[in-house]
Structure 1
Amino acid sequence: MRRLRSQAAFVAAAVVAGGIALASPAVADPDAGAFRQLVGVGSDTTQDVLNALAGDTINGTSYSATAVKSADGAGIASYDAIEPGTGSTSSKITTRSSGTAFARPNGSGAGRIALSESLTGVKDSTGASVKDQVDFARSSGGPSASGAALTYIPMARDAVGVAVKGSALDTLTVDQLREIYTGQLTQLNGQTLHPKIPQSSSGTRKFFMNAIGVTNDTLSPNVAVVQENQANSALTEDGALVPFSVGSWIAQINGVSPDYSKTAAAAGGHLASVQLPGDDGATSPVTTVNGKLAPVNAYYENATFGRDVYNVVPTRSIDPTSIFFNKDLYDVFVTSGSHTAQLASDAAESVIAKFGFVNESYNGFVNLQNKHVRQGGLEDGSAVGTPAQPTLKSTVGDASLNLSWTPSGITPALPVTDYRITLTDADGGVVAVKDVAATTTSYSFTGLATGTYTATVTANNLNGTGVAATWTGAVKYTSKTAATTATTAYGKVPKVAVTVTGSHSVKPTGKVTVKDGTTVVGTGTLDASGKVTIGLSNHLKVATHSLSVSYAGSSSLNASSTTVSLKITKATASVSTSAPTSVSHTAKAKVTVKVTASGTTPTGTVRIYQGSKVIATGTLSGGKVTVTLPKLAKGKHTLHAFYVGSSTVNSKAGANFTITSK
C-alpha cells in the first residue's frame, strides 16, 4: 500500500559555512552508445533526480541498485539540460541507435517542445529531425498551450525560492520581488540590487514570474539572464538574487547533485525567507536536520511558491485502449487503480526525497479529476485543430453492431492518426472502447446482450479528438422468416404459411405482413410456436406473384423477411342449360345458360353450337344469359352451350341438349 510521504519537512534556515571544496559536476547523460527505451529531456530542476532514478551515477554515487524500469525491463535515459562537464548550452544529443543528433533541450519549455517535435516530425531550431527521438519531457511547470495532446503527470512537490547574496536580502515579500523584477525597486536596506532570471525556456522562470505578477513585457531589461539553478554563476556580487528550485538547492548543497552552487553558498549565498501571502511573518524554504538541509513543508505546500514537478508524456501513449499505448511508459510513470508507477515505489520515492523534493500521494496520477494532473497541447508551433466528423453507417446483426464510416473530406492541419470507437449502454456505461489505425474504416461489436446502445466514432490526431459521429439504436438477436404457398385457383383464398425462428432460443412474437409489390395483401400474428397462416384476397390477378413476407421483429429479435412465389390459376367453370324439348318450326326457342365458378361470378360470352356451327351468342349477366335461337327446321336438333372463358375463369362446354322443331 502506498503511503503519504510529505511529512519529512521541518522549519528553519540554513547557512552553509565557507571552506567547502568545489566539486566538478559529474557526467550524467547515459553513456555514449548505451541507448535506453524511455528517453527524457527538459527541466534541469528534475534532471538530477531523473538521472538517479535511471540508475546512473550522480556526483559519485551509483544508483544502479534502485534504477527504475518497466515490467518488461525498459529503462530511463535522462539527458541533462546542459552538456555535463562543459556546461555548453549549444551541444547536441543522439538518443536512438539510428537517430539523428538534435539540439539539447535546455529547460522545461524546451523539453516539451522537443517532445512535441518527436510526435509531429517538426524539425528543431537547428533543422534536425526529432521525430520519434523523445518519449517524455521533464517539466517543473504546467502547459503553455491548451489542448489534450500531452499529459502532465505529477511526480513530487518542489518549491521556488529566491537565492540571494547579502544579509540585506534575508527576508523578502511578494510585493518587493515584483518591484525588484519590474525595475521599480533598485535598493533594499541600503543594498544595491542585482536581480537575475533563468533562461527563457526555464520552467522555474515562468513559475516565479507568474507567482510575483511579472510578465515578459513588464520584466525590467536590467535583469540579467543566467542558467537555471546555478548559484555560482548568478550570486557573484552582494545584492544578487535569482529564483531557484528549493529542491535543487538542497540537493546541491547536501552534495547529492552535481555542484553548481557551493562556491556561492560558501561566500554567503543562501535562500531568503519569504513572507507568504496571508502570513504575518516570513517562512524559510529549508531547515537543517542532522547537518543536512531539508524541505520546509509549509513553504512547499504554499499555493504561491509551492509547485508540482511533472513528467510530461503523450496522452495517447498512456491510454491502454489506444493503438499508441506504450506499456513501458505506463509502467514507469502512471499510478491508476491497482497499478502503481515505478516512480511511486518506496525505493523510488526514497531517491526523490534525497534530491530535496517532497513526496506526495498523487505521484503518477493521470485522472484529470485530481487537481494536480494537467493536460496541454503541443508546443512545437504545429497547427492546432482536430479532425472533422466522419460519416457513420450502421447495421445491426445477431447480437452485433457493424459500423462503417467515411472520413471527412476536410483535411485537418495535422493528419488523422486513428479512429476511436466507443460503445455505451442505455445507462451511459461504457461497454467497449476500440482504437483503430487511420486506414481502418469499419468495426464490429459482437456478442452483445440485447438492449439499446450508443456508438460514437471520432477521428483523432495529435491535437486531440474530433467531433463524434453518433448512432443510437437497439441491438437484438437474429430472426429468420420462411414461407410456403400452394397453387390456387382464382376465386379461392390463397394462403401463405409462415414460420419465424429466433436465434439464442428466443421464441418470436409479433406481426407478419405479406405484400404483393407495395400493396399489403395480408397480415397475421405469430402463435406461440412462431407460426401463422395468412389468407390473402381471393381476387389476386391470375399470374405468378412474388410476395414479400416480413416479420416486424420484437423487443428481443431483429426484423427479417423472405420472398415466396404464389401461382394463381383461372377458376374452373360449370355450365348448365335450360331449354324447351320442342318448339314450332315457326317460333324461336329460348335457351337459358348459367355459368358458375367457385368464389367468383363468371362474365363473358356464351355460344350455342349445333355441331360445330355457332347458331346464337349471348353475354352473361350475373352469371346467366337467355339466348334466343333462330327458327329451327323441322326435325330433331342436338345443341350445346359453350362458355368462352375470361381473364379469371377457364372456358367450358356444357352438356348436349335436344330441341324438336315441329
Structure 2
Amino acid sequence: MRSMRSTAALVAAAVVAGGLALASPASADPTPPGTFRQLVGVGSDTTQDVLNALAGDTVNGKSYAASAVKSADGAGIASYDAIEPGTGSTTSNIKTRTNGPSFQRPNGSGKGRLALSESLTGDKFPDSSGVGIQGQVDFARSSSGPSTSGTTFTYIPFARDAVGVAVKGSALDTLTVDQLHDIYSGTLTTVNGQTVHPKIPQSGSGTRKFFLSAIGLTDATLSPNIPTVQENQGDAALTEDGALVPFSVGSWIAQNNGVSPDFSKDAAAAGGHLAAVQLPGDTGATSPVTTVNGKLTPVDGYFENATFGRDVYNVVPSRAIDPTSIFFDEALYDVFVTSGSHSAVLASDSAEQVIADFGFMNESYNGSINPAKHAKLGGLEESGVDASMPAAPALRATAGDASLKLTWSAPAATGLPLTDYRVTLTGSDGAVVAVKDLPAGTLSYTFSGLANGSYTASVTAANLNGAGTPATWSGSVKYASTTKAVTATTEYGKTPKVTVTVAGSHGVAPTGKVTVKDGNTTLATGNLDGSGKVTLGLSNHLKVATHTLSVFYGGATKLNASSTTVSLKITKATPSVSTSAPTTVSHTSRAKVTVKVTATGTTPGGTVRIYEGARVIATGTLSGGKVTVTLPKLSRGKHTMHAFYTGSSTVNSKNGASFTIKSS
C-alpha cells in the first residue's frame, strides 16, 4: 500500500491554501419550513448533509434543487438533521407528515434506526414517554451496520466513508491501532510526551460504534472517564493540545472544503487535523486525506482499508423494497435500490457527483440489496417488542439437469404458528429469478428450466410477526453429464488404458478434465477431446488384482460433474526364459549355466531351478533378471536339462527350452 503521511502543519496549510472561508453553521431540514415529502429519512449526522443535498434542499447556503432525486412518480426525499439547524439542539421535535405527530429529533444512526423501527411497530419514540410514530419514517440514515440480527431491515450502501482520528498537536500526527485501543481503554495517557485528551461521540452514534469496533473495544470496555461530544464537530472537541476524537473523514472533508455546514474549521485553523494511522498489515502510516487543487480529497487506500473504511447506508424496511410484497413501496425502491436492470436514482451520475462533493467515495455497489455485495440485513432495533419469528428451516438443495430441487424441514415451533414459506431464487447479479409462496405444510419445491449460471436460493418461514431467518444455498445450476469408461485386461508391466466417454445433455459438447482413481490414489488425469473422449494410460505397475476404478468428470461451464466406476483386471506378466550353457564338460568339472528371464515392462526376480528330467540338480536367484548357476559334476554321457523360473507376485512361472551337455 502507498502510504501518505501528514502533519498538523501540512493539513492546516492545505486548509489555508484551499481558501476555505469560515462560515456559520447552516443546516437544512426540508426547506422551506413546513415542507413535507413522501420519503422521510432521519438519523446519522455523518450522512445528513449529503442526503439533504440529494433531497434538493439548501445546504450551507447553496441550493441543490437541481440535484434533487425523485422516484419515477415524482416522490422526493425529506431528510431531517440529527440536531436542530441553527440552534444545535438535540432535544427539539420534528414533524414529518402534514397530519402527523411532533416527535423528538432522532440524533445519530442508532436513534434513526430506532425511529424507523417504531414507525413500523407504532410504538412510542424515543421511549415510553414519547409519542407513537407509526408511518412517520420511511428510511434511516446510518453510518454503521445493524445492531440486531434479523431481516426486517435492509441496509443499502450508497457511498464509502472512513473513520479517522481528528487530533490537535503534532505529537499525535501518527497513531497506531494499538495506541488508539490503549488510549480509549484508559491504559495509555501520554503519546510522544503529550498528555492525551480523548473524546467520543454521543451514544447511538454510528461513528462511535464503528470506531470502537475497529480498535477492538465496545461501550462496555471504553474508559468511563472519556467525555462525550456531538459527532463530527471538531470545534467542540479539539479544544486543547492532545485532544483526539473519531471523525467521519467524509464529514471532515466536506466541512473543511466549505461544502457542509462548518463545525470544524476553527479547530483546523488552530492546528486540528486528521492523524495518519498505521493500518493493520502496513509498514507506514496512511493519511485519510490529501490535497488536490487546494481541496481535501479522500485517500483511496485509507477508505478501502478493511479496518477504518466503511460503507454508509440508507436503511429501509425489507418488505417495502420487495416487489412481490403487499408492502412494496415503489417510490422507495426507485430511489434507493439497484437490482437487475433497475438502477437507484441515488446511483445516477448527478447523484454520485453530489456524493463525491460531500467527501465520500462512490462505489459500484451503490444501491445493492444483495448481502454478497455489501448490503446488510438487520432486525427491529427496539426492546420490549414481541419480535419472535421462525428460525431458519433446515435446507437441502440438489442441483439437477437445468433444475434445482429444494427440500427442507420445518423450524422449531415459536409462539405463533407458521403461516407460509417463501422460496426465492436469485441470479449471480442479485436479480430475482423467481419467487414462490407456499403453504406451511409444503416442504419442497423444484425450480426447473433454469439457464446455466450461479444462483442463490433461500427458504424463509413466516408467522404473523413476519419473515424469519432465511436458509440459503448458493451454487451453480448446469446441464447433466454422463460418464462411461471401458478397460481391457492387462498384464503387469504393460500399460493399462481406460477409455472415457462423456456426453452432455441439451446438446452441450463436454470439455474439461477426467480423473481416474484407485481408492484415494489418483492414477491419471486428462482432458477430453472434441468428441468428448479421452484414453488414459495408467501405471504399468498396478498390483496384480481386479481393481475397481473411480472415474470422475469434473464438469465444465455448462455441465455438471459426473462419475462412474469400471473394473480393471491386472494379470501376471508372461516371461521369456533363455539359457546359455556349454555343450561339453569334463566329468571332473562343474558346468556353469546362465539363465536370463525377461518380461515386458518389468525385471523379473525370484528363483530359477535347473532340472534334469524331474530332478532338480541346481538352483539360483535372479539378480537384474539374470543368474549363473553352477551345476554339480556330471557323469560321463549326455545330460538333457531345462531351466524353470518359479515366478513371482507379478510374473508367471515358465520353463525354458531344453539344452544338452555332454560330459566326458
Match of 2:155 among 128, 133, 152: 152
**Alpha-carbon distance between aligned partners in 1 of 2:188 and 2:130, rounded to the nearest angstrom:** 42
Structure 1 residues 128-148: Cα deviation after superposition (integer angstroms, max 9, x where no partner): 111111100100101100111
Structure 1 residues 183-213: Cα deviation after superposition (integer angstroms, max 9, x where no partner): 1111111211110000010000000001011
Q: Structure 1 residue 249 and structure 2 residue 252: aligned? A: yes
Given that residues 335 and 344 in structure 2 are in contact (C-alpha distance below 8 angstroms), is that contact kept between their aligned partners in structure 1? yes
Q: TM-score normalized by structure 1?
A: 0.60
- Compared with structure 1, are the counterparts of its residues 27 and 430 closer, same or farther at alpha carbon in structure 2 (3 Å cutoff)? closer
- Compared with structure 1, are the counterparts of its residues 459 and 235 closer, same or farther at alpha carbon in structure 2 (3 Å cutoff)? same
Given that residues 423 and 459 in structure 2 are in contact (C-alpha distance below 8 angstroms), is that contact kept between their aligned partners in structure 1? yes
**Alpha-carbon distance between aligned partners in 1 of 2:190 and 2:360, rounded to the nearest angstrom:** 33
Q: Secondary structure at the match of 1:14?
A: helix
Q: Structure 1 residue 14 and structure 2 residue 11: aligned? A: yes
State the match for 2:376 in structure 1. 374
* 1:26 maps to amino acid: A
Q: Deviation at 1:66? A: 1.1
- Compared with structure 1, are the counterparts of its residues 349 and 88 closer, same or farther at alpha carbon in structure 2 (3 Å cutoff)? same
State the match for 1:578 in structure 2. none
Q: Deviation at 1:419? A: 5.4
Q: Deviation at 1:11? A: 8.1
Q: Deviation at 1:23? A: 1.5
Moved over 3 A (4+): 9-13, 17-22, 387-390, 410-413, 418-424, 429-436, 440-443, 455-463, 465-468
Q: Deviation at 1:460? A: 4.0
Q: Secondary structure at the match of 1:34?
A: coil
Aligned pairs for 1:309-324 (under 5 A) are 309-324=312-327
State the match for 1:546 in structure 2. none
* 2:305 maps to amino acid: N
* 1:108 maps to amino acid: S
Q: What is the count of residue pairs matched by the alignment?
A: 427
State the match for 1:193 in structure 2. 196
Q: Deviation at 1:466? A: 7.9
Q: Deviation at 1:92? A: 1.1
Q: Secondary structure at the match of 2:332?
A: helix
Q: Structure 1 residue 115 and structure 2 residue 116: aligned? A: yes
Q: TM-score normalized by structure 2?
A: 0.60
State the match for 1:636 in structure 2. none
Q: Deviation at 1:459? A: 3.4
- Compared with structure 1, are the counterparts of its residues 11 and 361 closer, same or farther at alpha carbon in structure 2 (3 Å cutoff)? farther
Structure 1 residues 87-117: Cα deviation after superposition (integer angstroms, max 9, x where no partner): 0000111101111111111111111111111
Q: Deviation at 1:153? A: 0.5
* 2:71 maps to amino acid: S
- Compared with structure 1, are the counterparts of its residues 64 and 180 closer, same or farther at alpha carbon in structure 2 (3 Å cutoff)? same
Aligned pairs for 1:25-174 (under 5 A) are 25-31=25-31, 32-124=33-125, 125=127, 126-174=129-177
**Alpha-carbon distance between aligned partners in 2 of 1:274 and 1:467, rounded to the nearest angstrom:** 39
- Compared with structure 1, are the counterparts of its residues 84 and 462 closer, same or farther at alpha carbon in structure 2 (3 Å cutoff)? farther
**Alpha-carbon distance between aligned partners in 1 of 2:432 and 2:90, rounded to the nearest angstrom:** 49
- Compared with structure 1, are the counterparts of its residues 441 and 47 closer, same or farther at alpha carbon in structure 2 (3 Å cutoff)? same
Q: Deviation at 1:275? A: 0.5
Aligned pairs for 1:141-290 (under 5 A) are 141-290=144-293
Q: Deviation at 1:385? A: 1.5
**Alpha-carbon distance between aligned partners in 2 of 1:94 and 1:385, rounded to the nearest angstrom:** 31
Q: Deviation at 1:434? A: 6.1
**Alpha-carbon distance between aligned partners in 2 of 1:141 and 1:423, rounded to the nearest angstrom:** 28
- Compared with structure 1, are the counterparts of its residues 254 and 86 closer, same or farther at alpha carbon in structure 2 (3 Å cutoff)? same
Unmatched tracts of structure 1, length 5 or more: 1-8, 391-407, 469-662
Q: Secondary structure at the match of 2:254?
A: helix
State the match for 1:496 in structure 2. none
Q: Secondary structure at the match of 1:369?
A: helix
Given that residues 4 and 285 in structure 2 are in contact (C-alpha distance below 8 angstroms), is that contact kept between their aligned partners in structure 1? no
Aligned pairs for 1:509-658 (under 5 A) are none
Given that residues 94 and 101 in structure 1 are in contact (C-alpha distance below 8 angstroms), is that contact kept between their aligned partners in structure 2? yes
Structure 1 residues 38-82: Cα deviation after superposition (integer angstroms, max 9, x where no partner): 000110100000000000011111111110000000000000000
Q: Deviation at 1:461? A: 4.6
* 1:260 maps to amino acid: F
**Alpha-carbon distance between aligned partners in 1 of 2:53 and 2:345, rounded to the nearest angstrom:** 13
- Compared with structure 1, are the counterparts of its residues 81 and 69 closer, same or farther at alpha carbon in structure 2 (3 Å cutoff)? same
**Alpha-carbon distance between aligned partners in 2 of 1:456 and 1:245, rounded to the nearest angstrom:** 38
Q: Deviation at 1:14? A: 2.5
**Alpha-carbon distance between aligned partners in 2 of 1:160 and 1:441, rounded to the nearest angstrom:** 46
Unmatched tracts of structure 2, length 5 or more: 394-410, 426-430, 450-457, 472-664
State the match for 2:546 in structure 1. none
Given that residues 43 and 111 in structure 1 are in contact (C-alpha distance below 8 angstroms), is that contact kept between their aligned partners in structure 2? yes
Structure 1 residues 544-593: Cα deviation after superposition (integer angstroms, max 9, x where no partner): xxxxxxxxxxxxxxxxxxxxxxxxxxxxxxxxxxxxxxxxxxxxxxxxxx
Q: Deviation at 1:411? A: 8.1
**Alpha-carbon distance between aligned partners in 2 of 1:467 and 1:288, rounded to the nearest angstrom:** 46
- Compared with structure 1, are the counterparts of its residues 304 and 422 closer, same or farther at alpha carbon in structure 2 (3 Å cutoff)? closer
State the match for 1:325 in structure 2. 328
Given that residues 388 and 412 in structure 1 are in contact (C-alpha distance below 8 angstroms), is that contact kept between their aligned partners in structure 2? no
Q: Deviation at 1:383? A: 2.8
Given that residues 4 and 286 in structure 2 are in contact (C-alpha distance below 8 angstroms), is that contact kept between their aligned partners in structure 1? no
State the match for 2:559 in structure 1. none
Q: Deviation at 1:464? A: 2.3
Q: Deviation at 1:215? A: 1.7
**Alpha-carbon distance between aligned partners in 2 of 1:238 and 1:39, rounded to the nearest angstrom:** 41
- Compared with structure 1, are the counterparts of its residues 461 and 68 closer, same or farther at alpha carbon in structure 2 (3 Å cutoff)? farther
Structure 1 residues 513-550: Cα deviation after superposition (integer angstroms, max 9, x where no partner): xxxxxxxxxxxxxxxxxxxxxxxxxxxxxxxxxxxxxx
Q: Secondary structure at the match of 2:219?
A: coil
**Alpha-carbon distance between aligned partners in 2 of 1:303 and 1:156, rounded to the nearest angstrom:** 15
Given that residues 182 and 214 in structure 1 are in contact (C-alpha distance below 8 angstroms), is that contact kept between their aligned partners in structure 2? yes
State the match for 2:24 in structure 1. 24
- Compared with structure 1, are the counterparts of its residues 290 and 432 closer, same or farther at alpha carbon in structure 2 (3 Å cutoff)? closer
Q: Secondary structure at the match of 1:236?
A: coil
Q: Percent identity, aligned pairs only?
A: 69
Q: Deviation at 1:420? A: 5.7
Q: Secondary structure at the match of 2:231?
A: coil
**Alpha-carbon distance between aligned partners in 1 of 2:315 and 2:349, rounded to the nearest angstrom:** 22
**Alpha-carbon distance between aligned partners in 2 of 1:48 and 1:61, rounded to the nearest angstrom:** 12
- Compared with structure 1, are the counterparts of its residues 253 and 421 closer, same or farther at alpha carbon in structure 2 (3 Å cutoff)? closer
- Compared with structure 1, are the counterparts of its residues 460 and 171 closer, same or farther at alpha carbon in structure 2 (3 Å cutoff)? same
